[in-house]
Amino acid sequence: MKPISHTPIRVLVAEDDPLIRRSLIRAAKSRGVSVVGEATTGPEAVEQALALRPDAILMDVEMPGFDGLEATRQIQHLHPTPVVVVTAHDSPALLQSIAESGAGAHLLKPANPADLTSAITIAMARHADLVQLRDLLKQKECLVREVYHRVADQLGIAATLIHLQALRAPHPMTKDALLACESRVRAMGRVHAALQGAQTQTSIPLAPYLSGFVRELITGLRPDLNYQECLPTRTVLVDSSIAVSCGLLVHELVMNALKHAFRPSQPGTLRLTLALLASGRLQLAVADTGKGLPSQGSLDASTGLGLMIVDTLTKDLKGTLSVSTSSSGTTFSIEFNSPSLRPTP
């Protein structure tokens, strides 16, 4: 925080009423604050803030063009700046809107000089704290991204070693088991590689994340299949732990469908569904038009390991698993709650 008596704070005054604007300017100057610009509309306030880069902004609420709260939101998005909202009202709803806009303080009209400088000081201090928190968050995300990168690399090495061992296996069943193990290790590596590439590790858009997995698997193993997906129009954000479990679930279900549901060269359809239910739960489903499960209901016809893995991952999500199968196909559906779920428009 700059000492007012030594280094004047540079402020922009955004107020459409000329009498109140002059009053704010006089109050600011009487306390050693430098007024570097004036604005009388919301759009002008945004323009002046970007051009002048003031240390703080005194922002009226009701202005032509768009109001001061919208101007504050745009300024925080384009060039974060401490804002003091100057208003004649202090209803709880208005104070909530002021806080949500990104302003750091509010001041009731008419403002006396001491209160004005106190509000500016508070707004600038809160802004400095927010900047510091954002910097710490960026550092944390860089560290987490590096962890995902290293884990993905190590899993890739492990998968390669398993593959080499599979080539030396003397018995076909041993070789198949090792190759299945390799596939699952590579799946975990793929999950961490996808998380590494996400924009933020604190919230992952679930639909495109899962869609990328399925498209990659189908392209590599059965590009002749018809792939369909039904994904929510709203962005569904979950934290990384939920994303990891969902990624491994989808990988396991899709891999087993590609391996066991369709006969060689048989045409068919694979469908991925992610839905946000009215109950607030998430529904994740993988369906195929293949030959259906064997009579014992095992996802992996040889060992049942695939179904065990799916069941374990479903329990990790505290969800419920349902399976419907017939000669015309199989659908696996998992419903679960996500504590971190944040749907956005």
Read off the CATH number of the domain in which 86 is found: 3.40.50.2300
What total number of domains does the chain contain? 2
Please indicate, yes or no, whether residues 116 and 209 belong to a single structural domain of this protein. no
Please report whether residue 141 resides in a domain: no
The predicted pLDDT at position 74 comes to: 93
At residue 265, the 3 state secondary structure works out as coil
At residue 334, the 3 state secondary structure works out as strand
Contact status, residue 127 vs residue 79, Cβ threshold 8 Å: no
Please indicate, yes or no, whether residues 208 and 306 belong to a single structural domain of this protein. yes
Please indicate, yes or no, whether residues 254 and 118 belong to a single structural domain of this protein. no
Contact status, residue 83 vs residue 49, Cβ threshold 8 Å: no
Please report whether residue 138 resides in a domain: no
Please indicate, yes or no, whether residues 111 and 207 belong to a single structural domain of this protein. no
Looking at residue 128, its amino acid is: A
Residue owning tokens 């996802």: 299
Please report whether residue 195 resides in a domain: no
Tens digits of per-residue pLDDT, 255-288? Answer: 888 888 887 777 899 999 999 888 889 999 999 9
The predicted pLDDT at position 298 comes to: 46
| Domain end point (choices 133, 148, 179) | 133
Comparing C-alpha atoms, which of 227, 229, 225, 223 is closest to residue 267? 225
Distances (CA, A) of 41 to 23, 45, 64, 70, 212: 17, 6, 5, 11, 45
Task: Record the pTM.
Answer: 0.56
Please indicate, yes or no, whether residues 15 and 113 belong to a single structural domain of this protein. yes
Please indicate, yes or no, whether residues 78 and 208 belong to a single structural domain of this protein. no
Residues 6 or more apart in contact with residue 211 via CB below 8 angstroms: 229, 231, 272
Count of all residues that appear for the chain in the document: 345
Please report whether residue 5 resides in a domain: no
**d(C-alpha 145, C-alpha 195), whole Å:** 7
Please indicate, yes or no, whether residues 237 and 126 belong to a single structural domain of this protein. no
The predicted pLDDT at position 270 comes to: 94
Comparing C-alpha atoms, which of 65, 64, 68 is closest to residue 13? 68
Please report whether residue 196 resides in a domain: no
Contact status, residue 270 vs residue 257, Cβ threshold 8 Å: yes
| Domain end point (choices 111, 133, 155) | 133
Please report whether residue 151 resides in a domain: no
Contact status, residue 52 vs residue 7, Cβ threshold 8 Å: no
Please indicate, yes or no, whether residues 109 and 18 belong to a single structural domain of this protein. yes
**d(C-alpha 256, C-alpha 331), whole Å:** 12
Q: Quickly list DSSP for 22-45.
A: HHHHHHHHHTT-EEEEEESSHHHH
| Domain end point (choices 133, 167, 193) | 133
Share of the chain above pLDDT 70, in %: 91
Comparing C-alpha atoms, which of 69, 65, 125 is closest to residue 99? 69
The predicted pLDDT at position 199 comes to: 59
Please report whether residue 344 resides in a domain: yes
Please indicate, yes or no, whether residues 23 and 128 belong to a single structural domain of this protein. yes
Q: Of residues 1 and 293, which shows the higher confidence score?
A: 293
Tens digits of per-residue pLDDT, 54-99? Answer: 999 999 998 999 999 999 999 999 999 999 999 888 788 888 888 8
**d(C-alpha 315, C-alpha 109), whole Å:** 57
Give me the torsion for CA of 321, 331, 288, 305, rounded to 10°: 40
Please indicate, yes or no, whether residues 128 and 207 belong to a single structural domain of this protein. no
The predicted pLDDT at position 320 comes to: 93
Please indicate, yes or no, whether residues 124 and 256 belong to a single structural domain of this protein. no
The predicted pLDDT at position 4 comes to: 45
Please report whether residue 290 resides in a domain: yes
Distance of CA 218 to the CA centre of its chain: 26
Mean pLDDT, residues 148-169 taken together: 88
CATH of the domain at 281: 3.30.565.10
Q: Where are the beta strands (DSSP E) in the chain?
A: 10-14, 34-39, 56-60, 83-87, 105-108, 204-205, 226-230, 235-238, 269-276, 282-288, 320-326, 329-336, 342-344
Model confidence at 145: pLDDT above 80 = no
Residue 258, domain extent? 203-345
At residue 270, the 3 state secondary structure works out as strand
When mean pLDDT is compared across 20-29, 86-95, 137-146, 160-169, the lowest value belongs to: 137-146
For the chain, how far is it from start to end, CA to CA, in angstroms? 38
Please indicate, yes or no, whether residues 216 and 345 belong to a single structural domain of this protein. yes
Residues 6 or more apart in contact with residue 217 via CB below 8 angstroms: 251, 254, 255, 258
* DSSP state, residue 269: E
